[in-house]
């Protein structure tokens, strides 16, 4: 059995400005570093981690560095664990997306499992690469506990996959908060959810995506 801890990155500068980042490579905010450090402490207190992986985008990679430091590990970058490729939406504020792409962004808000970013990936396309990456990581780490620092949409599709929820049902799954920890296990070729979006340890540092996303 492999235990996987999916960590959403800490607050990024894009989160701070309500910007759809996608593959835009933005830094963590100062608060994001604080969140990452508190999550690193939470993980160190509750798990024995053998490896740390991360999306190669800075906001996830630097979140992972906080965690890896607690265990004397290096962060292994995995490009496949990036956020959805947002195409024309990259760098736009959420308010601007509602104005410029009301139909497409409305679909994202109301039926995300069947949505896609204009000029970018669909949620289903992203879900395929995320599932492939996680299965490879899980198979390579039998009997170990691994951290994978990634992004909000990859975690949302993974929560559905691990719980047997269809793409049609994805709209009913909430976004996880920044620097939260979602735990799953992989055994005999099957993933199962254990705990979703653990964030009580963040207390007053907790931040979430706005309601219009």
Take residue 92 and report the two structure tokens written for it.
Answer: 């736009």
- Out of 9, 33, 66, 201, pick the active-site residue: 9
Of 35, 43, 34, 37, which Cα lies nearest the Cα of 146?
43
Q: Does 9 participate in catalysis according to the annotation?
A: yes
126 to each of 16, 45, 143, how far by Cα in Å? 24, 32, 27
- Out of 37, 65, 83, 183, pick the active-site residue: 83
Number of other residues whose CB lies within 10 A of the CB of residue 44? 14
204 to each of 6, 38, 129, 179, 200, how far by Cα in Å? 21, 11, 34, 13, 9
Instruction: List the catalytic residues.
Output: 9, 83
């Amino acid at each position: 059995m492999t235990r996987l801890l999916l960590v959403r990155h800490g607050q990024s500068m894009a989160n701070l400005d309500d910007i759809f980042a996608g593959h835009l490579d933005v830094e963590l905010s100062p608060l994001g570093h604080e969140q990452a450090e508190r999550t690193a402490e939470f993980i160190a207190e509750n798990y024995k981690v053998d490896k740390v992986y991360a999306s190669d985008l800075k906001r996830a990679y630097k979140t992972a560095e906080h965690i890896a430091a607690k265990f004397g590990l290096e962060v292994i970058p995995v490009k496949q664990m990036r956020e959805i490729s947002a195409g024309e939406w990259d760098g736009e504020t959420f308010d601007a997306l509602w104005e410029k792409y009301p139909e497409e962004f409305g679909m994202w808000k109301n039926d995300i499992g069947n949505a896609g970013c204009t000029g970018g990936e669909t949620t289903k396309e992203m879900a395929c690469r995320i599932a492939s990456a996680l299965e490879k990581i899980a198979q390579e780490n039998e009997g170990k506990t691994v951290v994978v620092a990634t992004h909000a949409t990859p975690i949302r599709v993974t929560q559905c996959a691990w719980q047997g929820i269809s793409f049609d049902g994805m709209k009913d799954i909430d976004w996880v908060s920044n620097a939260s920890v979602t735990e799953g296990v992989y055994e005999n070729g099957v993933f199962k959810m254990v705990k979703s979006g653990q964030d009580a340890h963040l207390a007053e540092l907790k931040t979430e995506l706005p309601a219009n996303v």
